[in-house]
Amino acid sequence: LPGRIIYSYGLLGKYPVMSPDEKQFAFLGPDGIHVVDIEGMNDRLLIGCGLNSSMGENCFNRGNEPKPQWSKDGKKLVYHKCNASSLNCSDIREYDIYIYDLKTDQEQLIIHGGLNPSWNYFKD
């Protein structure tokens, strides 16, 4: 891209998504959802998900992995995670939707039973 710097982060993760101000990105790491500066500095684990079983599975990789999405103002992330006690989430009712407020560092349960949430960018 013209005028852009290319960075090699060396971070393990997937589903990266750029913040609206293009100063940070969020991604799903092996231990939870992270936010990191665009230069690859200040990697913060926002939503960790500890091991829930003897098989080493956690609530982010037991079926449908979350793809975090930024709010329009860049102050929050929305995502889902599996909250079933079984090893796999096989039904939409076993997932819950959350919003994480980056200003207060608080996770809030929005709804039980849901997958792949996103923001309505057409609404102010």
User: How many percent of the chain have pLDDT more than 90?
Assistant: 37
Q: What is the DSSP string of 32-83?
A: EEEEEETTS-S-EEEEE--B-STT--BTTSSSS----EE-TTSSEEEEEEE-
**Which residue type sits at 27?**
F
pLDDT at 56 over 60: no
Q: Is 50 left (phi over 0), alpha (psi -120 to 50) or beta?
A: beta
Query: Could you tell me which residue, 18 or 55, shows the higher pLDDT?
Result: 18
Calculate Rg over the CA atoms of the chain.
Answer: 15
pLDDT at 18 over 90: yes
Rounded Cα distance between 111 and 35, Å, is: 23
Rounded Cα distance between 38 and 28, Å, is: 15
Task: Give 68-116 pLDDT, tens digit per residue.
Answer: 999 999 999 999 988 776 667 778 888 899 999 999 999 999 999 988 8
Q: What pLDDT sits at residue 3?
A: 62
pLDDT at 48 over 60: yes
pTM for the full predicted model:
0.79
